[in-house]
Each structure stands twice: as C-alpha cells, then as structure tokens.
Amino acid sequence: MIHEPPEFRRFLSFLRNTRHVSENPLQRYRLWCLRFFGFVNHNGRTPWTATYDDASEFVCQIKAEKKPATVGHAISTLRCFYDWACSERLIGYNPFSLIRRPNPGFRVPRVLTREDMQALLTAIPGDSPQAIRDRAVLETLYSTGVRVSELCGLDLKDIDLSRRRAIVWGKGQKERVVFLTEAAAAAIRDYVLLARPALLDGRRLGALFIGRRGRIHRTTVTGIIRRAARLAGIHKHITPHTFRHTFATHILENDVDIRCVQELLGHERLSTTQIYTHVAKSRLEAVFRRAHPRERELGSPGQAISRK
C-alpha cells in the first residue's frame, strides 16, 4: 500500500475548500499523487525530495500506457500539488515545472443529428414517475448543455419555470444562468407536479432530480440515456457529454456568436469552445450537398462527369 504523507491531507483540504474541487476530480488528484509517491519511494526518495529526473521518468512511464490527454491531466495534477507544496515550504522547487504536457491532437467531439436527438427525447414511454423523470432529465440536458455533475447538483430552488431559466454551479463553484426551452420547462413542470413527490417517498430533499438513494447520480443519468438510445434504435455510444457537445454544435449551426456559447457552456477559455466551430464547419458540406438545387439536380460531381 502506498504511504500517504500527513501533509497530503492538507492539500486535499485546500482543493476541496479553496479551489472548490468536487469529489470525483478530487479522487483523480489523489490517485495520481499517490502513484507518483509510490514511484519516488521505489527510487529511494520521498515526495519532498523528488527530483526533476523523477518527474521525467514518471511521465515517460505513463506515456507508454495512457493517452496524451490522460498524461496531460497527470502532469497538471502533479504540478498543482507541487505548486502548493512550494507555497507551504515543504519543498523548495517544483519537479514538474519543466515538464510539458503532450499535444493531445485534435479530436472532433461526437455529435448527434437533430433527428437522432428528437428520437432520443421522445423514446421513453409511459406515465410512471421514473419515465416522467427520465424525459425531464433528457430535455434538461439538451436544453441547457450542462455537465452531468451540474445536472445532478441542481436543486428545486435553482429552477425558475415562469422565466424558463435555471442557475447551475460549474467548475470551481462558479455560478451561471442557463435557459430552458418550452419543451424542457413543460417536462420539468410535469416531473415536479406528478413524479417528484412519488420519488421522494416522504423524504425531505432539496435536489431537483431524485434517485433511489436521494439526489440523482451520474450513473443513473448515463443509464437513462442508454435506455433511450436503445428504445430509439440508435446504435451509437452516447454519454451525458454527447448532449453537451450536441447542444453547442446545434446552437452554433444557427449562427449564434461563439462568445455567447462560451457563456452558456461555462467555459473559462474561448479556445475550449472553438472546437465546436470545427464540428459545425465539418457539417457544412453535407448541408450544401443536400440543399443546393443544382446539387439535387445533377447529383454528386462523379455522377455529373459520368453523363458526359
């Protein structure tokens, strides 16, 4: 078992109370730090005597088994830890200060078509409390583009159905306003009036969406999406984040300013939002081929040539 230095608990408290890091990311911080502690311990050193060479060798080791994005997260985590350790005077230098994050390359996010999304939103049948809740969850995800952690963190008091808006708490406990479509507001209203009391089963909870053990969990949300996809006959890997990607892309396809989308998604950097412009542009050709009158008349360029 890897030894956890007593000082490390202070670092976790710093993340939780000062940086407002939620529990799932907090566990990732903990696991990467403990793995590095075990690595330096094997080399005969402690976390407070780790060297630049230790950091470099560790990164080379994980590069052989992890994707670039995961390696980059590990480097950022350990750099953050040692920045804190330097500020606490536990070590006089940051072993990871010279380590650069690998270039993860460009990956176009998975996005659903409007037809697929419509099929998903209407796939779950029935009037049971769970069915009404599940439809409200799907509509809220697509209407707002929130992260699954933000959806699960919604309280009843955060929803204003009369103005069709909600307050969510994003990364670093940053507050932002998101908006509800008429369909989403109607689904939430039905859920609050017809389903939520039954799911509460006498419990007093502030959470908007209720699961078996209280506040709905991300695994329940993932299960709802998988069931809807199966019922809709959609054979794609769809996650809660797919809804977020799809929300952003569909908004941008309607010529919304990218800075507005940045605000809606709660991105700190515009560069994070700009990935969706690539997605929207990649769909332009398909739209052109389908919409232009001469394209419909003559078919593809290859077909036109074959007629000569």
Q: What residues are labeled active site?
A: 147, 171, 241, 244, 267, 276
DSSP structure string for 42-93: HTT--TTS--HHHHHHHHHHHHTTS-HHHHHHHHHHHHHHHHHHHHTTS-SS
Distance CA 143, CA 60 (A): 42
- 83 touches 253 (CB < 8 A): no
Contact 102, 67 (CB under 8 A): no
Parallel, antiparallel, or unpaired: how do β-strands 159-160 and 165-169 relate? antiparallel
Contact 219, 232 (CB under 8 A): no
Q: What does the radius of gyration of the chain's CA atoms come to, in whole angstroms? A: 24
> What is the rounded distance in angstroms from the CA atom of residue 26 to the CA atom of residue 304?
58
H/E segment holding residue 228: helix 218-232
